Amino acid sequence: MNPPAEVDVLVVGFGAAGAAAAIAAHDAGASVCVVEKTSAGGGNCVHSGGFLFDIDGPRAIDHLDALCFGKTDRAVLEAYARGLADIPAFVQTLGGSAPPVDIDAFGGMLPSWPHFPGAGNVRYRQFVPAAGERPGPGLWRVLEGAVRARNVPVALSTPVVDLLTSDDGVVGAVVESDRVRRAITARTGVILCSGSFEADAELRDAYLPLPLTSVGHQGNTGDTLRLAQAAGASLWHMSAFFGWLSFVHPDYPAAFTLDVHAPSFIYVDGDGRRFADETGWEVHDRVRSVTGYLPRRPNRPNMPGWIIFDEAARQAGPLHGIVGSPNDYEWSLDNSTEVAAGWIKRGDDSADLAAATGLDPAILKDTLAGYAAAVSRRADYEFGRTPATLVPLLPPLYAIQMTPGVATASGGPRRDADARVLRPGGGAGGDPIPGLFAAGAAGSIWGHLTEHGGGLTDAIVFGRIAGERAASRAGRLVTNATT
């Protein structure tokens, strides 16, 4: 469809933030249109695990502030925390459900940051999918359904290529479809819900701290940055991201996230040496274990490396599929299809595995012997892995090549508690740019670390705030924006 030439609110991007913004703006009485660059909606929501973060209590803001390393204004964090409390009811009004998960069932993975202030009040919810559905796509089904039920026009394959500005701020956008450009006037606001830049190799190299591949949606190529900066926006959180160790296959555009579901595994770098406490990293931050420069090594952790695991770990569950599935590929539950396909290498012993992987046989033998010694003395002197996770690697051995992957980058326009995009000015940003809003991964609130379920909740909370604010003339009249 061609988008209308004039609306109250123009939503750029049809992921979780765009859907939440469109629903809120529509329900506040505005005429709304959504434009999406790719041929389908969902963005990273359909790759996600459908986890939703929640926190309350007197130390909630301290918790968030600690995760952001003080890089996100407290007023923004307060707005986020208030919005979290509404998410279960919001999901329910759309016909879905996201009850709290049993933290104990996640084998020590949750809570994400038990040592941070206020962690005792952290809860995690997960969207309940329909039979045969994953939680992330299930949440997207409900969000998209709510937008469609409101008859909000959604133009797919229609990227915004420019913002229209006047003395009155941002007044619309130029979109392109079938090589035809059209202007859309937005009477009260344009909301950038267009994600970050993790799918753009050049921007990844420019802003993120190590060579990364993208494990999620391929449409987030930094348009948000270019559009916002051309309108005069300040940026924030450019080096923040979360990710996964991942497997790259040339036939698939996005890398496959990797998780091992039993403790009998180690990581080795491209030289065949261990380089980290494999079980000691928060799941979203594990990828940072490869950023370290190791001063006593001739090389930094040399990537791609390998995850080496045994039969018990092979049978403990699919290495890929808890989150991700970016490629419409169903990973086998016991990883046997991927062994047969040669994606996972197999060896009867260390020498056999070295031959299958190309790793130096002497170094690999030494590494496995060192790990076996740590297991038998129940102490990992080199990397401090906890005794409970020091379990033997029993042949046959398996290995999958792994490379650091980025799921979502945080970088984008700085926003305030009303989701208004700010101009540069002082540490906390300057004045809002009239008529321009941002939500979700288009400049995420997460300034350094993130929480399990922090991405979708950022998208939903600030999507809703942006939709409500932009629906009123407040989008244009800056001084009334918080009323």
Ligand X SMILES: Cc1cc2nc3c(=O)[nH]c(=O)nc-3n(C[C@H](O)[C@H](O)[C@H](O)COP(=O)(O)OP(=O)(O)OC[C@H]3O[C@@H](n4cnc5c(N)ncnc54)[C@H](O)[C@@H]3O)c2cc1C
The contact set with ligand X (CB under 6 A) reads 12-18, 35-38, 43-45, 47-51, 159-160, 193-195, 215-217, 219-220, 223, 257, 323-324, 407-408, 440-442, 453-457, 459
Q: Which long-range contacts (CB under 8 A, 24 or more apart) does 344-352 make?
A: 344/314, 344/319, 344/398, 344/399, 344/400, 345/398, 345/399, 345/400, 346/396, 346/397, 346/398, 347/395, 347/396, 347/397, 347/398, 347/399, 348/395, 348/396, 348/397, 349/395, 349/397, 350/397, 352/397
Nearest approach, Cβ of 129 to ligand X (angstroms)?
Answer: 12
Q: Is the peptide bond before 396 cis (omega within 30 degrees of 0)?
A: yes
Residues 6+ apart with CB under 8 A from 173: 10, 12, 35, 160, 162, 163, 164, 183, 184, 186, 190, 227
Per DSSP, what are the bridge partners of residue 308? Answer: 266, 399
Nearest approach, Cβ of 36 to ligand X (angstroms)?
Answer: 5
| Element holding 235 (H helix, E strand) | strand 235-236
Q: Is the CB of 91 or the CB of 364 nearer to ligand X? A: 91
Q: Is the CB of 37 or the CB of 288 nearer to ligand X? A: 37
Nearest approach, Cβ of 217 to ligand X (angstroms)?
Answer: 5
- Please give the angle made by the CA atoms of 195, 197 and 203, to the nearest 5 degrees: 165
Q: Is the CB of 128 or the CB of 477 nearer to ligand X? A: 128
Nearest approach, Cβ of 137 to ligand X (angstroms)?
Answer: 11
As a whole number of angstroms, the distance between CA 130 and CA 142 comes to 11
Nearest approach, Cβ of 105 to ligand X (angstroms)?
Answer: 15
Q: Is the CB of 273 or the CB of 286 nearer to ligand X? A: 286
Nearest approach, Cβ of 41 to ligand X (angstroms)?
Answer: 6
As a whole number of angstroms, the distance between CA 385 and CA 375 comes to 10
Report CA-CA distances (Å) from 83 to 55, 74, 192, 253.
Answer: 10, 14, 19, 35
What Rg value do the Cα atoms of the chain yield, rounded?
23
Task: Provide the token pair at 27.
Answer: 């329900």
Nearest approach, Cβ of 255 to ligand X (angstroms)?
Answer: 10
Q: Is the CB of 38 or the CB of 386 nearer to ligand X? A: 38
Per DSSP, what are the bridge partners of residue 309? Answer: 265, 398
Q: Is the CB of 239 or the CB of 315 nearer to ligand X? A: 239
Q: Is the CB of 217 or the CB of 345 nearer to ligand X? A: 217
Determine the residue type at 359.
Answer: L
Other Cβ atoms within 10 Å of 72 Cβ, number:
25
Nearest approach, Cβ of 39 to ligand X (angstroms)?
Answer: 9
Q: Is the CB of 273 or the CB of 415 nearer to ligand X? A: 415
Q: Is the CB of 18 or the CB of 434 nearer to ligand X? A: 18
Task: Provide the token pair at 350.
Answer: 């260390």
Nearest approach, Cβ of 198 to ligand X (angstroms)?
Answer: 8
As a whole number of angstroms, the distance between CA 339 and CA 318 comes to 12
